Each structure stands twice: as structure tokens, then as C-alpha cells.
Copies of this chain bind each other. A is one copy, B any other.
Amino acid sequence: MFIDLHNIFVCLEIKNKVTNDKKLILFGLKSSIFHRLQQEKYCLESMNGVNGPQNGQPHLDHADGQYFLTEAYKVILEEVLCKGTDVKEKVCDWHDPEELSALLDLELREGGESHHQLLQRVRDVAKYSVKTNHPRFFNQLFAGVDYHSLAGRFLTEALNTSQYTYEVAPVFVLMENVMLTKLRSMVGWPQGDGIFCPGGSVSNMYAMNVARYRAYPQVKVQGLWAVPRLAAFTSQEVKYYLCFGGEIPHVHSVEETQDFMQTDLLELLPFLTQGAVPFLVSATSGTTIQGAFDPLDRIADICDKNKLWMHVDAAWGGSVLFSKKHKHLMKGIERADSLAWNPHKMLLAGLQCCVFLLKDNTDLLKQCHCANATYLFQQDKFYDMRMDTGDKSVQCGRKVDCLKLWLMWKAVGTEGLAERVDKVFKLARYLVREMSKREGFQLVNEPQFVNVCFWYIPPSLRGKEGNNDYQEKLSKVAPVIKERMMRKGSMMVGYQPLREKVNFFRMVIISPHISQEDMDFFLDEIERLGKDLYNAL
């Protein structure tokens, strides 16, 4: 069974307030139908009241507003969700910044616009935006669409509340607690704490805050000058996520082989901090580029021995905990003190959906962050004030990020999410196998995860590894292929250098909507776009 969206008609009975006449307005999702109806004078413009300001109060009629929203919904359905997921359509419609600026007319003016104009704007924004739901979008650590999550996101937006008190977010306070408990149980923590954060970097910052506060609670009142100079440790590749514009006194980069921390070296580090007191190790489960997993058990041993807070940045890799087959990658996670995990990445919960989880159950997070704002956290409320969880956050207003994950989970169940994770692992393995059958694809490393990092070596460079200019020429291959795919709109995949390694592609497989055919297309397309290289350059 499928619903043929090209045949969906929506019939609205429109009542004219003045004449009390009823008219049947018909319009379709498909733009050709829409245009035909416009020609037949059933167009929106002919309707009173949906064409701009009235009564000196621009756009304040609820029915008009809801009508516009419904029209916009249909544009979104058509442009973003139907066309945007259609393999026959472009993943992006590339224009240079100046050209795109001219196409969009972004300027904001004194007067407002008609609903018809505004709908065209909705259509234009959709048209010129990258289709991250498209089966050929492999560019970031998010991709694809889950419609239940999306429904949860629409509902979140319409309800428009802040996740700080039970009073204004009763459902979401309870839901966040259930979500956090469930996610902690997957980590192996029967008790603990946690909060949804606006991004993994904020979760990592929270780990720093809480670790420091546990060691030196006076920091909160007396400031940083009341505590000794502190040192945190992490590996080179992930340092980005720990540099908060000077927030952190010292981030020591641990030298590494592959991506993960050399834990033997880590043992030496107390001697390397130039007098600063080590207080935290941030391990990584799923590095951004290579998808590498630090050996958590070995790091936990060191943290135990040195009484360091063990944080794990599992923003990207955390979702392997769903998979019976692959969760061994995070073996030892239950020994950590805290964890950052972004279900908006592999689980398709939608940006932003990030949790910070702690093993602590002594209310350390709240003690560390609370400011006791009297207008939110009144102490004489008529309900259990422990339900007002907002003071765990350094934010005041906080977006509701739990509903989308909850609704998706209800829809597919833990098993369904596990199947999705297993599926993309399988596809990544398939891609690696297929690469090995083709000339010109060279893996940067054997993938642990769904990041497949590789160089494409065009025929003109093959067998010339010994040449002096080989690395320099190789470094230019990925940028050229990337430009070509963007201008063509056929797919999107990222590239980057990494220390001594010159530019290589990072293919990431995330969406369960992806198939082996998409993997084959990917390899074919890289070849198509790059095979003439150095003939052409």
C-alpha cells in the first residue's frame, strides 16, 4: 500500500464572513495542479482576507494564519519531503553567494507581503536549501528523515514552551526524565542524572563544569582564582569540542596512534602538566572524522587510579549502544562519570537533540549550575518542586528536545532503532568491500564505525606514489571532485586533511533509507567526477 501523493487533493470549505456564502476551494499538492487551479480562478489571491494586513493589525486573524500555515505545510511536504527525498532530484541546487542573494531577495522592509508572495518565499527557501533528507547526502554526521520525529518537532514548535518548570512544561518534564532514565539504562547506569543540551559541545562543557565543581565546589562562589590551575586531557582529533573560546584553562592533547588515546602515554601525563592538577579525561566514542572509539576500559583504569573525572564524548558514536552486535565498541562505558550523546546524529531525531548523562545521583549537576531564580523556582509551589529541572542548566529558557526522540522511539521501538543502526553498519561494510574491488579507492584506515575515509586516486596518479609531487597532487583531487558534485547537485560528501594526511573523503552512512544501490552510485559518481583528473587540472 502506498499513498500516491501526486493525487492528494485537499478540499476546504471556505465560508465568507460577510456573505456567509460557502465556496469550495480546491488545490493540490502538485504544483501543476496548483497552477491549473490558479488559472481556473480558484487561486488563493481571489480569497478575501488572506492577502495581507487588515484592520490595521497585520496578520492577526487566527483562521487566516492557520490557512497560511496549512498552505506552507503543503509546500514543505512537496518540496522538502517529496522532492527532497527523491533520488531523481538534486541534493543541492548550487549558486554562488552573490547569485543566491539576488535570487532570494532577503531584504527586510517596512511593509509586509501577501500570503501568495510569502508562500513563494517558503518554496524558494526550500528549493535553494540543501536536501539533507536526500539519499545522496553524506556530508555531515546527520542525514535522512524520520517522519515520527518530524511530527514531534512540529508539535514541539506549535506548543512553544520552555523546558524549565513542571508548571509550563508538565508533559516534557516527565518525558525528559523518562528519556534520560532509558538512555542511562543503555549506558548501564541504574541511577544518575542528565539533561538535554543545545549541542554536544555544550554537553562537553557541562562535563568540565561538573568535574571541576566536584573537585573544587568553592569555584562556584569564589571563582576560578580560588582553585588550582587545572588540566584536562583529550586526544588531538577531538580537541575542537573542548575549546570554548578560552573557557578551559588547559586542554592537553594526548598524542595518539590512529585516533584513540595512547593510554600508556596518558599514564605519564600527570608529569607533563607543568604544575597544573589533572581533573578530567575526555575520551571519545566515535571521532568526527575517522569514527574511532577510544578504549574506555583502559582509560577508566587510569581515571580510577588518578581520581580523574572520566567523560566520554559519544555525541556521534553513542548510538552503537542500541546494537547488540556493535556495542562492544563502547565496552567500559558504564565506568565513565559522564557522557555526551547526540541522537540527532545517527538516530535521525533531528537537530538539535543532544543529551548529557551523568552517573552521579547526588544532584551535582543542579548544585553546580543552579542560580535559584525566584521567578521560576519558587519554593512555595503547590507541587513537588523537584519537578522543576531547569536549574540544572546554564540556560534559562531551554528548547524542548525530548519529544521528537520519544515519539520516534514509541513508533519504531528499541528494536527498530537497533535494526537501523545495524543496517548502516552493514552498508558501510558493503561500501568498503565494493571499494576493494575497484581500482583507485584507497582506505585511510579500516573503519571501526560507519565513517569510511578514503582517497580517490585518479588513473593519472596511480602507481606514482613515489613521485615528489604525488601528495600535493593527491591533496587537490577531493576539492575538485567536491566542487564538481556540488555544481552538478548529484551528491554531497565531505573531505578534509588530518595531520600529515592530505585531503581525503569522509563518507558517512547514517540514514536507514539508504540502499546498496546508493553505495554503488556513490562509487560510480566519484569515478565519473574524478577519473579525468590531472588530465584536466
Contacts and interface: CB of A to CB of B under 8 A. Distances in A.
A456 interface: no
A424 interface: no
A272 interface: no
B59 A151 contact: no
A361 to B, nearest CB: 18
A411 B58 contact: yes
A58 B153 CA distance: 20
A335 to B, nearest CB: 25
Given A142-B160, A399-B351, A479-B381, A17 B5 contact: no
A40 interface: no
B11 A10 contact: yes
A416 B495 contact: no
Contacts of A68: 147-148, 151
B240 A371 contact: yes
Nearest to A513: B60
How many interface residues does chain A have, given as a range?
Answer: 35 or more
Interface in A473-492: 475-476, 479, 482-483, 486, 492
A475 B2 CA distance: 61
B155 A122 contact: yes
B3 A67 contact: yes
A69 B410 CA distance: 15
Contact of A158 (B67, B76, B225, B495): B76
A112 interface: yes
A375 B394 CA distance: 29
A496 B249 contact: no
Contacts of A142: 160, 162, 397
A3 B81 contact: no
A482 B382 contact: yes
Contact of A368 (B92, B100, B154, B246): B246
Interface stretch (A125-133, A300-308, A437-445, A521-529): A125-133
Interface string A38-75: 00000000011110010011111111111111101100
A437 to B, nearest CB: 26
A202 interface: yes
A326 interface: no
Contact of A250 (B72, B81, B158, B223): B223
Interface string A84-109: 11000000101111001100101111
Closest 4 pairs between A and B when the two form their complex, measured CB to CB: A65-B147, A198-B198, A1-B49, A72-B151
Given A59-B146, A130-B167, 7 more contacts: A1-B49, A111-B416, A198-B395, A199-B396, A209-B245, A224-B249, A240-B396
5 contacts: A1-B48, A62-B513, A140-B162, A201-B395, A206-B245
